[in-house]
Amino acid sequence: MARSTTRRPVVRIDLGASPAVSRRRPDELAAEEPLEIRLRKQALAVTMRTPGHDIDLVIGFLLAEGVIGGAEDVVTAQLCAGTDTPNTYNVVDVVLGEHVPPPVTDPSRNFYTTSSCGVCGKASIDAVRTRSRFDVSGDPLRIAAGALAELPDRLRAAQRTFDRTGGLHAAGLFTAGGELLVLREDVGRHNAVDKVLGWAVREGRLPLAGHVLMVSGRASFELTQKAWMAGLPMLAAVSAPSTLAVELAEEAGMTLVGFLRGETMNVYAGVDRVTI
């Protein structure tokens, strides 16, 4: 947790004061550092993330990319010493079971990601799209619109690092009754989701039938796909979805809710799971 934030001096300018004033003060920033993901000491991916819950992030990433299907596919996953001085342990090495096929690592499907986009390195739509092994179309989840409307406030109330920095995305896993099971924060919205999925893998909770994934930003194609890969029947976001996110939700049989703010929301797919 100590490395999830750092303090820096800033000059605060207040034009609302009369006269306008400026003063130097400390400010707390969300940390952003690279994380290298290795399989049996061979580099697979590099992602920019906020340090913390790195093992969950890597396991969730491997699940979302279709490399693994559950905890039984992972033999070990450990933080390793890198080459930095002082050492930052920005490397996670994973050993997969002998039964797990090696992932595709040719140049047309490189895994470099930034904190703002988890699929920027993919060379084509075919490389981006991964089919889930879980069928969510028949998931019997039903949730009242009133219960959905409470999720953003519950998510925000649990964002402790955001309170200090104002610079992190959040993803939370909720039950149909609105109970928050786990929340993760990160400078990258895709990393926050991967950290939630990795937790679910390690806890043996896959598929996440009957659960809701709530995210603090928009609902992109990538986040919708990650939710589907974990067997989630519903993704809710406080902001807008993209066209591909809606199309994928319809294809998968998921429920996709956007602009979940206050007492209003838009249901873009799977409206039957939302009751009034």
- Detail the DSSP E strand segments found in the chain: 5-14, 21-30, 33-39, 42-49, 74-80, 91-96, 143-144, 169-175, 180-186, 211-215, 234-237, 255-261, 264-269, 274-275
Q: Which of 55, 117, 158, 209 is catalytic?
A: 117
From the CA atom positions of the chain, what is the Rg in Å? 19
Amino acid (one-letter) located at 36: E
Query: Is 120 known to be catalytic?
Result: no
Residue with tokens 């993901």: 37
CB 224 within 8 A of CB 254: yes
Contacts of 251 (CB under 8 A, 6+ apart): none
CB 232 within 8 A of CB 210: no
Residues designated as active site: 117
